[in-house]
Amino acid sequence: MSTGVSTPVSARVLAAVQTILSLAYPLLIVWALAYFPPRRVAGVVLGLLALRGVLHVLRRRMARGTQGVRGARVPWSLALPVASVALVSAATAIANDPLGLLLAPVFVNAALLAAFAFSLRREPIVETLARLQVERLAPAEVRYCRRVTLVWCGFFVLNGGVGFVLAWTRSLEAWAFYTGFLSYVLMGLLFAGEYVYRHARFRRYEGGPADRLLSRVFPPRQTPERVGLDARGGDRARTVLLEVPTGLACWRGHFPGQPMLPGVVQVDWVLRELERWRGAPPQVLALEGLKFKQPVLPGEALVLRLEGEPASGSEAGGSPGESIDFRFVRGEEEVSRGRVRLGLGDAVAGRRSAVGEREGLAVGGQDGTPPWPAPAELLVHADPMVWLRGVEAHDERETRCLASVDDLGAFRDPEGGVGAHAALEWMAQAVAVHAGLERRARGEGPTLGLLLGSKHVRFARPAYTRGEQFRVVALRGWGGEQGASSFDCRVESLDGRVRVAEARLSCFVPGDEAPVPGLAAAHGGSGDGAVRGEVGQDGEDGEASLARSMRRGERRTPIPSGGAR
Amino acid sequence: MSQAVDRADKVHAAPRAFDRASILERVREILADSFEIEPETIQLESHLIDDLDLDSIDAIDLAVELEQETGLRLEEQELRRIRRVKDIVDLVCDRLVPA
């Protein structure tokens, strides 16, 4: 009953009494039949039903009178059993046979069965209930809701059937035990079982009462829902139909309240699919032409297209120089793309680096300057997507962070290591930390930034092992006054001697009060996107933002480095 | 960075070398190298998005490449106004060769 915020106490007491009377109906009936003739019991039931009807009409009148809105309408699925109970009660009263009274639970089940079964023609009742609780449902969840609705239909058939047999044979005690107790237990068991199964299946934890326990037993997912495969391309191409699970581990932290699929997870899915395709873990030498064009949201259906010329036969991990193009497509729209260059080798060592190194950036700490804030305070990311451990040094052009493989939570493989592509997210987060520190210097809190792409991400090694620690450096390159920026990034050993990854990242880094684009698109589902809004359109506040960036240019006071631990 | 500055200095030292034709040639090379485009398809009138299949993410790389090549620091507004190859050439001409 949606009587609004201020439900009067009397109404609540009344509702409670109704519920108790309904639930205890079988026991009350059996008790009453032991003392009174069926006719009189049926009369009382009829009287109560009439009273309930009158009260309901009164309440609707009151609601209409005081609030000017229509009171809650009773759905026919609830009105029907009431009406049928009233009918059989009347029949009982006339025939003086308890059968009518005993059939009441059968009618309730029949009505519920009808309601659930008919809902399958449009939106299954279970789906309707689910949509009241969560913002979006994945296609797999929609299918699941339909199946659960069917299961309940089956339950109502069985439950009603047993009730009918017991009523027909007029075995009062068994009838009372089943309809007044056992069927409630069965209903509870079915509900609880479905609840647990649902969480095991979808791993979706959004504040339910048993989340902490269940998420320990059934941890959130890392991989997409694979719903179809077109392998006709043989060794050269394959197309995989995916659904982005709503129970993905990264949603909670990337970003809180605003889930978007991280680029590194998209690359991870590509590599997992490659491994499946090739039967061996891919040795990634480089990622090229990476573009993350549109935000990918929970529950969306994607098509992953892989094209390339994988080596056939024994050569595990790919042969040098071989590459695979990937595209994620949503409907007609490409959301991301790139190329995975496979091979055993070192894309970083032995070649002139495209990524600049600067001398003279002070790594402080000795002069008593306070340590830099933790990355978690500088990023909008939250656990488990805060992948940086600390800030080592920072000035307005460069930020150096510390990262450990051990901080990557469930993104790690069972041995505690991660693939090289984890470096992509490390570098992107170093850029975000840089932006966060710049904002902090202006007295602003962290805001959302986006990794848009990279022409080259080069790796020296295919994986990092547990316990390894790295320095992640982001060096500001070209930067537009409205947030489009280029950063030269690298991941290196703590002594700075071994570079394990490098990339020039294109990012959206919101500047002073810059509006964050793509948010509306992200919420709306498939708006014409984040990226286009950032760099593609003519801004209206050109003057203002130009003035701002000039103002920023004037503020050249060096920021002390500190807190290298 | 310092390389780019050197190159920009050379530009001013030898302005005659930077007529529109040679700038177009250089822009063509940059586009071809950076975005894997066939050089022949890159003409003055080529539309970056419609003809050359570039997008807004490529625009950032274009800005980086132009800055490295010429020492010119494009503003985002200028970048947004670029539609055709011609616009890049005009921009570089205007900024490099003072009228």
Q: Domains, chain A, ranges and CATH?
A: 9-214 (no CATH), 225-536+548-554 (2.40.160.210)
A308 residue type, one letter: G
* From B56, B61, B75, residue closest to A534, measured CB to CB: B56
How many helices (H) does chain B have, and how many strands (E)? 5, 0
Does the CA dihedral A491-A494-A495-A500 come out positive or negative? negative
Minimal-distance CA residue of chain B relative to A531: B56
Does the CA dihedral A267-A273-A277-A283 come out positive or negative? positive
Size of interface A-B (CB pairs under 8 A): 74
Minimal-distance CA residue of chain B relative to A550: B75
Q: How many other CB atoms are there within 10 angstroms of residue A422's CB atom?
A: 24
**Interchain contact, A484 vs B76, CB within 8 Å:** yes
**Interchain contact, A478 vs B81, CB within 8 Å:** no
Q: How far is residue A490's CA from residue A400's CA, in Å, rounded to a whole number?
A: 10
Task: Compute the C-alpha angle A355/A359/A365, nearest 5°.
Answer: 115
Minimal-distance CA residue of chain B relative to A547: B75
Q: How many other CB atoms are there within 10 angstroms of residue A539's CB atom?
A: 20
Q: Could you read off the pLDDT tens digit of each residue along chain A, which spans 565 residues?
A: 444 445 667 778 878 888 888 888 888 888 888 888 888 888 888 888 888 788 878 877 776 655 544 444 555 656 766 777 787 778 777 777 888 888 888 988 998 999 999 999 999 999 999 999 888 898 889 999 999 999 999 999 999 999 999 999 988 889 999 998 999 999 999 999 999 999 999 999 988 888 999 999 999 999 998 989 998 888 889 999 999 999 999 998 999 888 999 999 999 999 999 999 988 888 898 999 999 999 999 999 999 999 986 554 444 444 556 889 999 999 999 999 999 998 765 556 544 444 445 554 445 444 445 678 899 999 999 989 999 999 998 888 899 999 999 999 889 999 999 999 999 999 999 999 999 998 888 888 888 889 999 999 999 888 999 999 999 999 998 887 778 899 999 999 998 888 999 999 999 987 654 444 443 333 333 333 333 333 333 333 333 332 333 333 333 223 333 333 3
CATH number where B32 lies: 1.10.1200.10
Domain that holds residue B74: 2-96
The pLDDT of residue A231: 87
Q: Per residue, what are the HEC states of A260-273?
A: CCCHHHHHHHHHHH
Q: How far is residue A129's CA from residue A126's CA, in Å, rounded to a whole number?
A: 5
Minimal-distance CA residue of chain A relative to B34: A455
- Nearest-CA distance from A543 to chain B in Å? 10
**Interchain contact, A535 vs B1, CB within 8 Å:** no
What the block records as the tokens of A508 is 């959206």
Contact by Cβ (8 Å): A512, A501: no
The pLDDT of residue A536: 32
Residue A221 DSSP label? B
How many helices (H) does chain A have, and how many strands (E)? 17, 14
Task: State the total domains in chain B.
Answer: 1
* From B57, B75, B81, residue closest to A291, measured CB to CB: B57
Residues of A at the B interface (Cβ-Cβ below 8 Å)?
Answer: 289, 291, 293, 356, 452-453, 455, 477-478, 480-486, 504, 506, 531-532, 534-539, 542, 545-546
Predicted complex ipTM exceeds 0.90: no
Q: Could you read off the pLDDT tens digit of each residue along chain B, which spans 99 residues?
A: 444 444 444 444 444 456 788 888 888 988 888 888 888 888 888 888 888 888 888 888 888 888 888 888 888 888 888 888 988 888 888 877 665
Residues of B at the A interface (Cβ-Cβ below 8 Å)?
Answer: 1, 34, 36, 55-57, 59-61, 63-64, 67, 73-77, 79-81
- Nearest-CA distance from A409 to chain B in Å? 31
* From A452, A538, A542, residue closest to B60, measured CB to CB: A452
pTM of the model: 0.77
The pLDDT of residue A527: 33
The pLDDT of residue A157: 97
Minimal-distance CA residue of chain B relative to A504: B61
3-state secondary structure of A525: coil
Widest pairwise Cα distance in chain B: 37
Site from A325, A352, A534, A535 to mutate, B interface, most B CB atoms within 10 angstroms: A535
Of the candidates A250, A254, A255, A285, the one whose C-alpha atom is nearest the C-alpha of residue A269 is: A250
Does the CA dihedral A132-A135-A139-A144 come out positive or negative? negative
Contact by Cβ (8 Å): A284, A277: no
